[in-house]
């Protein structure tokens, strides 16, 4: 059973803000891992600058991209949300790390891989649905 983070806190604005902050911190951690792995020694502040963008996009798409809102099915919505979040991540990484888009693509792919693996592992450990 998947339990969204907002329902743990009871819903409302506070739950949304806390979810955003936790998601941004998680994305910052995984982005810093990916950037360190691909680029080398980089300041962690750059990941903190870039992480709120994909966090906000993924939360907004998860909240308002429910089936029927845009007139497309839920299976296609997952793909659209993933592509939009990756594009937002690409733009944020490119700006924060001062990389060309072509150079930022491997960092974004690594970021997605690290976030997916760590998110699934944390979700299984905590018994909540962090990503899926």
Three-class DSSP labels, the chain? CCCCHHHHCCCHHHHHHHHHHHHHHHHHHHHHHHHHHHCCCCCHHHHHHHCHHHHHHHHHHHHHCCCCCCCCCHHHHHHHHHHHHHHHHHHHHHHHCCCCHHHHHHHHHHHHHHHHHHHHHHHHHHCCCCCC
Question: Which domain, by its residues, includes 76?
Answer: 5-126
The verdict on residue 38 lying in a domain is yes
Residue 116 lies in a domain: yes
pLDDT-derived band at 92, boundaries 50, 70, 90: very high
pTM given for the model: 0.79
Q: Is residue 131 part of a domain?
A: no
Domain count across the chain:
1
Residue 4: predicted pLDDT: 54
Q: Give residue-wise pLDDT tens across range 15-49.
A: 888 889 999 999 999 999 999 999 888 888 899 99
């Amino acid at each position: 059973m998947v339990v969204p983070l907002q329902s743990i806190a009871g819903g409302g604005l506070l739950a949304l803000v806390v979810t955003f902050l936790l998601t941004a911190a998680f994305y910052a951690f995984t982005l810093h891992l990916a950037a360190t792995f691909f680029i080398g020694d980089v300041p962690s502040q750059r990941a903190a600058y870039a992480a709120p963008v994909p966090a906000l996009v993924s939360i907004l798409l998860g909240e308002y991209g429910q089936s029927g809102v845009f007139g497309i099915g839920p299976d296609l919505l997952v793909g659209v949300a993933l592509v939009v979040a990756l594009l937002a991540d690409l733009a944020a990484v490119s700006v924060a790390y001062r990389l060309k888009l072509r150079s930022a693509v491997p960092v974004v792919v690594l970021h997605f891989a690290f976030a997916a693996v760590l998110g699934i592992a944390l979700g299984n450990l905590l018994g909540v649905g962090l990503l899926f």
